[in-house]
Structure 1
Amino acid sequence: MLKRLLSYFYPIKIHTQKSTLSQSLEITWANGNLVMDSENTNYSYGSLQRILKLGLKNIGFAKIKKMESILVLGVAGGSVIKTLVDEIQFKGNITGVEIDAEIIKMANQYFKLDEMKQLQIVIDDAFEFVLKTKEKYNLIIIDVFQDTKMPNFLFESFFINRVCFLLKSKGFILFNTMLLNNAENLRNQKLIDEFKSENFSIKTIPRVEKHNELIVIEKLT
Protein backbone atom coordinates (compact mmCIF):
# COMPACT_ATOMS: atom_id res chain seq x y z
CA MET A 1 0.00 0.00 0.00
CA LEU A 2 2.88 2.38 0.80
CA LYS A 3 4.45 1.81 -2.62
CA ARG A 4 1.11 2.48 -4.27
CA LEU A 5 0.73 5.79 -2.41
CA LEU A 6 4.30 6.85 -3.16
CA SER A 7 3.78 6.08 -6.86
CA TYR A 8 1.63 9.20 -7.17
CA PHE A 9 4.85 11.17 -6.62
CA TYR A 10 7.31 8.99 -8.57
CA PRO A 11 7.24 5.57 -10.30
CA ILE A 12 8.28 2.60 -8.19
CA LYS A 13 9.70 -0.40 -10.02
CA ILE A 14 8.85 -3.68 -8.27
CA HIS A 15 9.91 -6.34 -10.79
CA THR A 16 12.32 -6.55 -13.72
CA GLN A 17 12.67 -9.57 -15.94
CA LYS A 18 14.65 -10.49 -19.02
CA SER A 19 12.80 -12.17 -21.84
CA THR A 20 14.37 -13.69 -24.94
CA LEU A 21 11.60 -12.26 -27.12
CA SER A 22 10.80 -8.99 -25.37
CA GLN A 23 14.22 -8.27 -23.83
CA SER A 24 13.61 -6.21 -20.67
CA LEU A 25 10.16 -6.25 -19.00
CA GLU A 26 9.23 -4.21 -15.93
CA ILE A 27 6.33 -4.04 -13.51
CA THR A 28 5.99 -0.58 -11.97
CA TRP A 29 3.63 1.25 -9.65
CA ALA A 30 2.75 4.53 -11.44
CA ASN A 31 0.04 6.96 -10.32
CA GLY A 32 -1.50 4.31 -8.08
CA ASN A 33 -1.67 1.62 -10.77
CA LEU A 34 0.46 -1.34 -11.76
CA VAL A 35 1.77 -1.07 -15.31
CA MET A 36 3.87 -3.33 -17.53
CA ASP A 37 6.59 -1.68 -19.62
CA SER A 38 9.23 -2.78 -22.09
CA GLU A 39 12.52 -0.88 -22.31
CA ASN A 40 11.06 2.03 -24.30
CA THR A 41 7.28 1.86 -24.18
CA ASN A 42 4.20 0.92 -22.19
CA TYR A 43 3.07 -2.67 -22.82
CA SER A 44 -0.05 -2.79 -20.67
CA TYR A 45 -2.16 -0.44 -18.57
CA GLY A 46 -1.02 3.18 -18.63
CA SER A 47 -1.07 4.83 -22.05
CA LEU A 48 -1.68 1.60 -23.98
CA GLN A 49 -4.92 0.96 -22.12
CA ARG A 50 -6.09 4.50 -22.88
CA ILE A 51 -5.22 4.09 -26.58
CA LEU A 52 -7.12 0.85 -27.07
CA LYS A 53 -10.03 2.04 -24.94
CA LEU A 54 -10.44 4.99 -27.30
CA GLY A 55 -10.60 2.57 -30.22
CA LEU A 56 -13.20 0.44 -28.46
CA LYS A 57 -15.26 3.56 -27.74
CA ASN A 58 -15.10 4.43 -31.44
CA ILE A 59 -16.60 1.02 -32.28
CA GLY A 60 -19.15 1.41 -29.48
CA PHE A 61 -19.25 -0.21 -26.05
CA ALA A 62 -22.90 -1.24 -26.44
CA LYS A 63 -22.13 -2.93 -29.75
CA ILE A 64 -19.12 -4.78 -28.30
CA LYS A 65 -21.09 -5.94 -25.26
CA LYS A 66 -23.48 -7.85 -27.55
CA MET A 67 -20.70 -9.67 -29.39
CA GLU A 68 -20.02 -13.39 -28.95
CA SER A 69 -16.29 -13.78 -29.58
CA ILE A 70 -13.20 -11.56 -29.58
CA LEU A 71 -9.63 -12.30 -30.70
CA VAL A 72 -6.73 -10.34 -29.20
CA LEU A 73 -3.43 -10.66 -31.08
CA GLY A 74 -0.76 -9.47 -28.64
CA VAL A 75 -1.87 -9.85 -25.01
CA ALA A 76 1.06 -8.57 -22.91
CA GLY A 77 -0.38 -7.76 -19.47
CA GLY A 78 -3.94 -7.95 -20.73
CA SER A 79 -5.10 -4.37 -20.18
CA VAL A 80 -7.45 -4.38 -23.18
CA ILE A 81 -8.96 -7.63 -21.90
CA LYS A 82 -9.54 -5.97 -18.52
CA THR A 83 -11.29 -3.11 -20.30
CA LEU A 84 -13.51 -5.55 -22.21
CA VAL A 85 -14.48 -7.52 -19.11
CA ASP A 86 -14.56 -4.90 -16.34
CA GLU A 87 -15.69 -1.74 -18.15
CA ILE A 88 -17.65 -2.98 -21.15
CA GLN A 89 -18.88 -6.07 -19.27
CA PHE A 90 -18.33 -8.30 -22.26
CA LYS A 91 -19.62 -11.79 -21.43
CA GLY A 92 -18.57 -13.73 -24.53
CA ASN A 93 -15.41 -15.68 -25.31
CA ILE A 94 -12.01 -14.03 -25.60
CA THR A 95 -9.03 -15.71 -27.26
CA GLY A 96 -5.69 -14.06 -26.49
CA VAL A 97 -2.65 -14.90 -28.62
CA GLU A 98 0.76 -14.04 -27.17
CA ILE A 99 4.12 -15.25 -28.49
CA ASP A 100 6.03 -14.63 -25.24
CA ALA A 101 5.20 -17.11 -22.47
CA GLU A 102 7.21 -15.06 -19.94
CA ILE A 103 4.86 -12.11 -20.42
CA ILE A 104 1.84 -14.29 -19.65
CA LYS A 105 3.49 -15.56 -16.45
CA MET A 106 3.95 -11.96 -15.34
CA ALA A 107 0.40 -11.05 -16.37
CA ASN A 108 -0.98 -13.93 -14.31
CA GLN A 109 1.12 -12.98 -11.28
CA TYR A 110 0.55 -9.23 -11.23
CA PHE A 111 -2.72 -8.71 -13.13
CA LYS A 112 -4.57 -12.01 -12.36
CA LEU A 113 -5.17 -12.73 -16.03
CA ASP A 114 -5.59 -16.43 -15.29
CA GLU A 115 -8.64 -15.68 -13.11
CA MET A 116 -10.70 -14.61 -16.15
CA LYS A 117 -12.79 -17.69 -16.91
CA GLN A 118 -13.91 -16.53 -20.37
CA LEU A 119 -10.32 -16.01 -21.54
CA GLN A 120 -8.32 -18.62 -23.42
CA ILE A 121 -4.61 -17.86 -23.82
CA VAL A 122 -2.74 -19.36 -26.77
CA ILE A 123 1.07 -19.14 -26.82
CA ASP A 124 1.77 -18.70 -30.52
CA ASP A 125 2.97 -16.31 -33.18
CA ALA A 126 0.12 -14.08 -34.36
CA PHE A 127 0.82 -14.79 -38.03
CA GLU A 128 0.86 -18.56 -37.47
CA PHE A 129 -2.33 -18.41 -35.43
CA VAL A 130 -4.39 -16.56 -38.01
CA LEU A 131 -3.25 -19.04 -40.67
CA LYS A 132 -4.32 -22.05 -38.57
CA THR A 133 -7.50 -21.00 -36.80
CA LYS A 134 -10.85 -22.04 -38.20
CA GLU A 135 -12.82 -19.83 -35.82
CA LYS A 136 -14.44 -16.52 -36.78
CA TYR A 137 -14.74 -13.49 -34.52
CA ASN A 138 -16.88 -10.39 -34.05
CA LEU A 139 -13.87 -8.25 -33.08
CA ILE A 140 -10.16 -8.76 -33.73
CA ILE A 141 -7.72 -6.52 -31.84
CA ILE A 142 -4.19 -6.35 -33.27
CA ASP A 143 -1.66 -5.02 -30.76
CA VAL A 144 1.60 -6.74 -31.69
CA PHE A 145 4.87 -5.07 -30.71
CA GLN A 146 8.42 -5.94 -29.79
CA ASP A 147 9.27 -2.89 -27.70
CA THR A 148 8.53 -0.04 -30.16
CA LYS A 149 8.93 -2.16 -33.31
CA MET A 150 6.11 -3.80 -35.25
CA PRO A 151 6.73 -6.95 -37.32
CA ASN A 152 6.56 -6.32 -41.07
CA PHE A 153 4.02 -9.10 -41.66
CA LEU A 154 1.32 -7.03 -39.92
CA PHE A 155 1.23 -4.66 -42.92
CA GLU A 156 1.29 -7.25 -45.68
CA SER A 157 -1.88 -7.62 -47.73
CA PHE A 158 -1.95 -11.37 -47.19
CA PHE A 159 -2.09 -10.98 -43.39
CA ILE A 160 -4.71 -8.20 -43.43
CA ASN A 161 -6.87 -10.12 -45.90
CA ARG A 162 -6.63 -13.25 -43.77
CA VAL A 163 -7.65 -11.34 -40.63
CA CYS A 164 -10.59 -9.84 -42.52
CA PHE A 165 -11.59 -13.37 -43.59
CA LEU A 166 -11.76 -14.35 -39.89
CA LEU A 167 -14.37 -11.68 -39.17
CA LYS A 168 -18.02 -12.56 -38.71
CA SER A 169 -20.67 -10.48 -40.47
CA LYS A 170 -20.54 -6.82 -39.37
CA GLY A 171 -17.39 -7.46 -37.34
CA PHE A 172 -14.52 -5.07 -36.61
CA ILE A 173 -10.72 -5.01 -36.62
CA LEU A 174 -8.99 -2.61 -34.22
CA PHE A 175 -5.34 -2.26 -35.24
CA ASN A 176 -2.98 -0.33 -32.96
CA THR A 177 0.11 1.05 -34.72
CA MET A 178 3.02 3.23 -33.65
CA LEU A 179 4.42 6.04 -35.81
CA LEU A 180 7.90 7.22 -34.80
CA ASN A 181 9.26 8.36 -38.17
CA ASN A 182 8.24 9.24 -41.70
CA ALA A 183 8.84 5.71 -42.98
CA GLU A 184 6.24 4.40 -40.54
CA ASN A 185 3.81 7.12 -41.59
CA LEU A 186 4.24 6.01 -45.21
CA ARG A 187 3.85 2.36 -44.20
CA ASN A 188 0.46 3.05 -42.64
CA GLN A 189 -0.67 5.22 -45.54
CA LYS A 190 0.31 2.50 -48.02
CA LEU A 191 -1.80 -0.06 -46.16
CA ILE A 192 -4.80 2.29 -46.09
CA ASP A 193 -4.44 3.27 -49.76
CA GLU A 194 -4.14 -0.34 -50.90
CA PHE A 195 -7.05 -1.62 -48.83
CA LYS A 196 -9.91 -1.81 -51.28
CA SER A 197 -13.02 -3.91 -50.73
CA GLU A 198 -16.71 -3.37 -51.28
CA ASN A 199 -17.41 -5.46 -48.17
CA PHE A 200 -15.26 -3.40 -45.78
CA SER A 201 -14.73 0.19 -44.70
CA ILE A 202 -11.47 1.50 -43.24
CA LYS A 203 -10.73 4.62 -41.20
CA THR A 204 -8.00 5.93 -38.92
CA ILE A 205 -7.85 7.62 -35.54
CA PRO A 206 -4.54 9.51 -35.80
CA ARG A 207 -2.07 10.72 -33.20
CA VAL A 208 -3.48 8.98 -30.15
CA GLU A 209 -1.16 9.64 -27.16
CA LYS A 210 1.12 11.43 -29.67
CA HIS A 211 2.76 8.45 -31.42
CA ASN A 212 -0.05 5.95 -32.03
CA GLU A 213 -2.51 5.63 -34.88
CA LEU A 214 -5.52 3.35 -34.68
CA ILE A 215 -6.84 1.72 -37.84
CA VAL A 216 -10.47 0.54 -37.68
CA ILE A 217 -11.78 -1.87 -40.31
CA GLU A 218 -15.49 -2.72 -40.38
CA LYS A 219 -17.08 -5.61 -42.25
CA LEU A 220 -20.23 -4.16 -43.80
CA THR A 221 -22.14 -7.37 -44.51
Structure 2
Amino acid sequence: MVKRILSYLLPIKIYQRKSSISKKLEVTWNKGQLVLDSENTNYSYGSLERILRKGLLYIGFDRIKKFENVLVLGVAGGSVIKTLTQEVKFKGKITGVEIDETAVEIAKKFFELDQIPNLNLVVDDAFEFVLKTKEKYDLIIIDVFQDTKMPNFLFEDFFINRVNFLLQVNGFILFNTMVLSFTDKKRNATYKTKFNDNYSVRLYPKVETHNELFTIKKLA
Protein backbone atom coordinates (compact mmCIF):
# COMPACT_ATOMS: atom_id res chain seq x y z
CA MET A 1 0.00 0.00 0.00
CA VAL A 2 2.90 2.37 0.79
CA LYS A 3 4.43 1.75 -2.66
CA ARG A 4 1.10 2.44 -4.28
CA ILE A 5 0.79 5.79 -2.49
CA LEU A 6 4.40 6.75 -3.23
CA SER A 7 3.85 5.92 -6.92
CA TYR A 8 1.82 9.13 -7.26
CA LEU A 9 5.15 10.93 -6.79
CA LEU A 10 7.35 8.64 -8.91
CA PRO A 11 7.03 5.18 -10.54
CA ILE A 12 8.12 2.25 -8.33
CA LYS A 13 9.29 -0.93 -10.08
CA ILE A 14 8.36 -4.08 -8.17
CA TYR A 15 9.14 -6.89 -10.63
CA GLN A 16 11.32 -7.50 -13.70
CA ARG A 17 11.71 -10.51 -15.97
CA LYS A 18 13.70 -11.22 -19.11
CA SER A 19 11.61 -12.39 -22.04
CA SER A 20 12.68 -14.17 -25.22
CA ILE A 21 10.00 -12.22 -27.12
CA SER A 22 9.96 -8.78 -25.48
CA LYS A 23 13.54 -8.73 -24.08
CA LYS A 24 12.51 -7.22 -20.73
CA LEU A 25 9.18 -6.89 -18.95
CA GLU A 26 8.59 -4.77 -15.84
CA VAL A 27 5.70 -4.44 -13.42
CA THR A 28 5.56 -0.96 -11.89
CA TRP A 29 3.34 1.02 -9.57
CA ASN A 30 2.57 4.21 -11.48
CA LYS A 31 0.08 6.83 -10.24
CA GLY A 32 -1.54 4.29 -7.95
CA GLN A 33 -1.93 1.64 -10.64
CA LEU A 34 0.01 -1.50 -11.51
CA VAL A 35 1.25 -1.33 -15.12
CA LEU A 36 3.19 -3.69 -17.38
CA ASP A 37 5.93 -2.16 -19.53
CA SER A 38 8.49 -3.41 -22.02
CA GLU A 39 11.84 -1.70 -22.36
CA ASN A 40 10.51 1.26 -24.37
CA THR A 41 6.73 1.29 -24.16
CA ASN A 42 3.66 0.55 -22.07
CA TYR A 43 2.30 -2.97 -22.64
CA SER A 44 -0.77 -3.03 -20.42
CA TYR A 45 -2.72 -0.68 -18.19
CA GLY A 46 -1.40 2.90 -18.17
CA SER A 47 -1.60 4.60 -21.58
CA LEU A 48 -2.38 1.38 -23.47
CA GLU A 49 -5.46 0.79 -21.33
CA ARG A 50 -6.68 4.30 -22.17
CA ILE A 51 -6.03 3.78 -25.89
CA LEU A 52 -7.97 0.53 -26.22
CA ARG A 53 -10.75 1.78 -23.94
CA LYS A 54 -11.23 4.69 -26.35
CA GLY A 55 -11.47 2.19 -29.19
CA LEU A 56 -14.13 0.20 -27.37
CA LEU A 57 -16.02 3.44 -26.67
CA TYR A 58 -15.89 4.32 -30.39
CA ILE A 59 -17.56 0.97 -31.14
CA GLY A 60 -19.96 1.39 -28.21
CA PHE A 61 -20.13 -0.47 -24.90
CA ASP A 62 -23.84 -1.29 -25.33
CA ARG A 63 -23.19 -2.81 -28.75
CA ILE A 64 -20.23 -4.88 -27.51
CA LYS A 65 -22.25 -6.16 -24.55
CA LYS A 66 -24.57 -7.92 -27.02
CA PHE A 67 -21.71 -9.71 -28.80
CA GLU A 68 -21.10 -13.42 -28.16
CA ASN A 69 -17.49 -14.07 -29.12
CA VAL A 70 -14.45 -11.79 -28.80
CA LEU A 71 -10.88 -12.51 -29.96
CA VAL A 72 -7.94 -10.56 -28.51
CA LEU A 73 -4.68 -10.90 -30.45
CA GLY A 74 -1.91 -9.65 -28.16
CA VAL A 75 -2.87 -9.90 -24.50
CA ALA A 76 0.24 -8.83 -22.55
CA GLY A 77 -1.08 -7.98 -19.05
CA GLY A 78 -4.68 -8.09 -20.22
CA SER A 79 -5.88 -4.52 -19.64
CA VAL A 80 -8.35 -4.59 -22.55
CA ILE A 81 -9.79 -7.84 -21.20
CA LYS A 82 -10.32 -6.18 -17.82
CA THR A 83 -12.06 -3.28 -19.59
CA LEU A 84 -14.30 -5.72 -21.43
CA THR A 85 -15.30 -7.66 -18.32
CA GLN A 86 -15.34 -4.92 -15.67
CA GLU A 87 -16.51 -1.81 -17.58
CA VAL A 88 -18.34 -3.12 -20.63
CA LYS A 89 -19.75 -6.01 -18.50
CA PHE A 90 -19.21 -8.39 -21.42
CA LYS A 91 -20.39 -11.89 -20.46
CA GLY A 92 -19.69 -13.75 -23.71
CA LYS A 93 -16.65 -15.80 -24.65
CA ILE A 94 -13.22 -14.10 -24.79
CA THR A 95 -10.24 -15.82 -26.41
CA GLY A 96 -6.92 -14.13 -25.62
CA VAL A 97 -3.87 -15.02 -27.71
CA GLU A 98 -0.39 -14.07 -26.50
CA ILE A 99 2.91 -15.33 -27.92
CA ASP A 100 4.99 -14.31 -24.89
CA GLU A 101 4.69 -16.97 -22.19
CA THR A 102 6.46 -14.67 -19.72
CA ALA A 103 3.80 -11.99 -20.24
CA VAL A 104 1.08 -14.58 -19.62
CA GLU A 105 2.74 -15.66 -16.35
CA ILE A 106 2.95 -12.01 -15.24
CA ALA A 107 -0.66 -11.40 -16.27
CA LYS A 108 -1.79 -14.26 -14.03
CA LYS A 109 0.48 -13.40 -11.09
CA PHE A 110 0.00 -9.63 -10.89
CA PHE A 111 -3.21 -8.92 -12.82
CA GLU A 112 -5.27 -12.04 -11.95
CA LEU A 113 -6.17 -12.82 -15.54
CA ASP A 114 -6.67 -16.47 -14.66
CA GLN A 115 -9.56 -15.40 -12.39
CA ILE A 116 -11.74 -14.29 -15.34
CA PRO A 117 -14.21 -17.15 -15.93
CA ASN A 118 -15.18 -16.31 -19.53
CA LEU A 119 -11.56 -15.98 -20.73
CA ASN A 120 -9.67 -18.70 -22.59
CA LEU A 121 -5.99 -17.70 -22.57
CA VAL A 122 -3.90 -19.25 -25.35
CA VAL A 123 -0.10 -19.09 -25.68
CA ASP A 124 0.38 -18.92 -29.44
CA ASP A 125 1.53 -16.74 -32.30
CA ALA A 126 -1.31 -14.49 -33.55
CA PHE A 127 -0.62 -15.39 -37.18
CA GLU A 128 -0.63 -19.12 -36.45
CA PHE A 129 -3.78 -18.86 -34.35
CA VAL A 130 -5.89 -17.13 -37.00
CA LEU A 131 -4.86 -19.82 -39.48
CA LYS A 132 -6.01 -22.62 -37.15
CA THR A 133 -9.15 -21.32 -35.49
CA LYS A 134 -12.48 -22.48 -36.84
CA GLU A 135 -14.57 -20.00 -34.85
CA LYS A 136 -16.12 -16.75 -36.01
CA TYR A 137 -15.94 -13.60 -33.89
CA ASP A 138 -18.08 -10.50 -33.31
CA LEU A 139 -15.08 -8.41 -32.22
CA ILE A 140 -11.42 -8.95 -33.06
CA ILE A 141 -8.96 -6.75 -31.15
CA ILE A 142 -5.47 -6.60 -32.67
CA ASP A 143 -2.82 -5.24 -30.31
CA VAL A 144 0.35 -7.03 -31.39
CA PHE A 145 3.72 -5.44 -30.60
CA GLN A 146 7.28 -6.46 -29.86
CA ASP A 147 8.36 -3.49 -27.76
CA THR A 148 7.70 -0.55 -30.16
CA LYS A 149 7.76 -2.65 -33.35
CA MET A 150 4.76 -4.08 -35.15
CA PRO A 151 5.27 -7.35 -37.07
CA ASN A 152 4.99 -6.93 -40.83
CA PHE A 153 2.45 -9.75 -41.20
CA LEU A 154 -0.25 -7.55 -39.59
CA PHE A 155 -0.31 -5.39 -42.73
CA GLU A 156 -0.05 -8.15 -45.34
CA ASP A 157 -3.01 -9.20 -47.49
CA PHE A 158 -3.04 -12.84 -46.37
CA PHE A 159 -3.44 -11.96 -42.68
CA ILE A 160 -5.92 -9.16 -43.35
CA ASN A 161 -8.09 -11.45 -45.49
CA ARG A 162 -7.98 -14.24 -42.94
CA VAL A 163 -9.03 -11.92 -40.10
CA ASN A 164 -11.83 -10.54 -42.29
CA PHE A 165 -13.01 -14.11 -42.93
CA LEU A 166 -13.16 -14.81 -39.18
CA LEU A 167 -15.27 -11.70 -38.53
CA GLN A 168 -19.05 -12.00 -38.34
CA VAL A 169 -21.22 -9.65 -40.41
CA ASN A 170 -21.87 -6.50 -38.32
CA GLY A 171 -18.79 -7.37 -36.28
CA PHE A 172 -15.83 -5.06 -35.65
CA ILE A 173 -12.04 -5.13 -35.83
CA LEU A 174 -10.27 -2.82 -33.37
CA PHE A 175 -6.65 -2.41 -34.50
CA ASN A 176 -4.14 -0.49 -32.40
CA THR A 177 -1.11 0.79 -34.33
CA MET A 178 1.96 2.80 -33.34
CA VAL A 179 3.03 5.69 -35.56
CA LEU A 180 6.57 6.88 -34.90
CA SER A 181 7.61 7.97 -38.40
CA PHE A 182 6.34 9.07 -41.81
CA THR A 183 6.87 5.48 -42.98
CA ASP A 184 4.45 4.26 -40.30
CA LYS A 185 1.89 6.87 -41.34
CA LYS A 186 2.20 5.79 -44.97
CA ARG A 187 1.87 2.13 -43.91
CA ASN A 188 -1.42 2.93 -42.16
CA ALA A 189 -2.74 4.86 -45.14
CA THR A 190 -2.02 1.83 -47.34
CA TYR A 191 -3.68 -0.49 -44.81
CA LYS A 192 -6.88 1.56 -44.99
CA THR A 193 -7.12 0.92 -48.75
CA LYS A 194 -7.16 -2.88 -48.23
CA PHE A 195 -10.88 -2.87 -47.39
CA ASN A 196 -13.64 -2.78 -50.02
CA ASP A 197 -17.19 -1.44 -49.82
CA ASN A 198 -18.22 -4.37 -47.62
CA TYR A 199 -16.40 -2.64 -44.75
CA SER A 200 -16.73 0.68 -42.97
CA VAL A 201 -13.23 1.84 -41.93
CA ARG A 202 -12.52 4.66 -39.51
CA LEU A 203 -9.09 5.90 -38.45
CA TYR A 204 -8.60 7.79 -35.20
CA PRO A 205 -5.22 9.58 -35.27
CA LYS A 206 -3.05 10.75 -32.38
CA VAL A 207 -4.61 8.66 -29.63
CA GLU A 208 -2.18 9.12 -26.71
CA THR A 209 0.33 10.89 -29.01
CA HIS A 210 1.92 7.98 -30.93
CA ASN A 211 -1.02 5.65 -31.55
CA GLU A 212 -3.59 5.45 -34.33
CA LEU A 213 -6.69 3.30 -33.92
CA PHE A 214 -8.68 1.64 -36.66
CA THR A 215 -12.27 0.52 -36.19
CA ILE A 216 -13.47 -1.65 -39.07
CA LYS A 217 -17.08 -2.81 -39.33
CA LYS A 218 -18.03 -5.69 -41.61
CA LEU A 219 -21.20 -4.68 -43.46
CA ALA A 220 -21.74 -7.76 -45.62
User: Normalising by the residue count of structure 1, what TM-score does the alignment of the two structures yield?
Assistant: 0.98
Secondary structure of 1:127 counterpart: helix
Note the alpha carbon deviations across 1:137-172, whole angstroms, 9 max, x for none.
000000000000000000001111110110112000
Q: Secondary structure at the match of 1:10?
A: coil
CA distance, structure 1, for counterparts of residue 157 and residue 51 of structure 2: 24
Query: What secondary structure, in the 3-state scheme, does the structure 2 residue paired with 1:24 have?
Result: strand
How far apart are the structure 2 equivalents of 1:177 and 1:132? 24
Residue 202 of structure 1 corresponds to which residue in structure 2?
201
Per the TM alignment, residue 68 of structure 1 is displaced from its structure 2 partner at its CA by 0.3
| 1:211 is aligned to 2:217 | no
Aligned-residue identity in percent:
63
For residues 174 and 195 of structure 2, what CA distance do their matches in structure 1 show? 17
Alignment of 1:179-198 (within 5 A): 179-193=179-193, 195-198=194-197
- Map of 1:49 onto structure 2: 49
TM-score (normalised: structure 2): 0.99
Residue 178 (structure 1) aligns with = 178
Over residues 17-45 of structure 1, what are the superposed CA-to-partner deviations in whole Å (9 max), with x where a residue is unaligned?
A: 10011101000000000000000000000
CA distance in 2, matches of 1:69, 1:191: 25
Task: Give the Cα–Cα distance (whole angstroms) in 1 for the partners of residues 29 and 178 of structure 2.
Answer: 24
Shift of the alpha carbon at 1:197? 1.8
Whole-Å separation in 2 of the counterparts to 1:214 and 1:47: 13
1:78 partnered with 2:78 = yes
Is 1:146 the counterpart of 2:141? The answer is no
Residue range with higher mean Cα deviation, 127-136 or 196-205 = 196-205
Q: Spell out, residue by residue over 1:79-116, the C-alpha distance to the aligned partner (whole angstroms, 9 max, x if none).
A: 00000000000000000000011100000000000000
The C-alpha deviation readout for 1:116-150, integer Å capped at 9, x for no partner, is 01000111100010011110000000000000000
2:9 corresponds in structure 1 to 9
**Cα shift at 1:201:** 1.3
Kindly provide the amino acid, as one letter, of the partner of residue 217 in structure 1: I
Deviation at 1:198, TM superposition (A): 2.5
- 4+ residue stretches of structure 1 with deviation over 6 A? none
CA deviations on 1:42-67 (whole Å, 9 max, x unpaired) are 00000000000000000000000110
Q: Which residue number corresponds to residue 132 of structure 1?
A: 132
The one-letter amino acid paired with 1:57 is: L
Q: CA RMSD in A?
A: 0.6
- 2:43 counterpart letter in structure 1: Y
Name the amino acid aligned to 2:203.
T
Partners in 2 of 1:128 and 1:196 — Cα distance? Answer: 22
2-structure distance, mates of 1:191, 1:9: 41
Amino acid at match of 1:166: L
Structure 2 distance, partners of 1:55, 1:145, is 17
| SS of residue matched to 1:21 | coil
Match status 1:112 vs 2:86: no
| Cα distance in structure 1, aligned partners of 2:8 and 2:203 | 33
Q: What stretches of structure 1 of length at least 5 have no aligned partner?
A: none
Aligned partners of 1:196 and 1:169: how far apart in 2?
A: 14
Whole-angstrom distance in 2 between the partners of 1:139 and 1:154: 17
Partners of 1:64 and 1:24 in 2: CA distance:
34
- What is the CA-CA distance between 1:196 and the residue it aligns to? 3.4
- For 1:78, the aligned partner's letter is G
